[in-house]
Amino acid sequence: MNLKEYPRIQWYYYCDNRKGNTVRLYDSEFFQKFRRLYVEQKNYDILRGTDLGDTDEALKQEFLSLLDERKDARKEGLSTNWPKKCLAYFEQKNNGEM
């Protein structure tokens, strides 16, 4: 996936739990243009992995090392159970409005 057309998109939702890992891209414009790229559209999943080990294992640590900055979504009042709230939050973040 090439995001060169969307340099403003810098923030993603990464979730790591017992069911697996997901990376979610909450962006209305990108979603409308590239809806077919989403693994699970209702959840804005662009990447889903399962059976990748525990949080402290090498594969997950390697992935997390690729991220410049991480924040606990719960501290921001976010949950994947509320996609509309996540969409509003990340659109503001990626548009530099926060």
**Whole-prediction pTM:** 0.82
**In a 3-state reduction of DSSP, which class is residue 14?**
strand
**Cα(44)–Cα(62) distance, rounded to whole angstroms?**
23
Question: Residue 12 contacts by C-beta under 8 Å, 6 or more apart in sequence?
Answer: 23, 24, 25, 46, 90
Domain chopping of the chain, boundaries? 13-94
Share the mean pLDDT of the chain: 86
Report, as an integer, the average pLDDT of 56-79. Answer: 84
Residue 66 pLDDT: 83
- Report residue 31's pLDDT band, with 50, 70 and 90 as the boundaries: very high
H/E stretch holding 92 reads helix 83-94
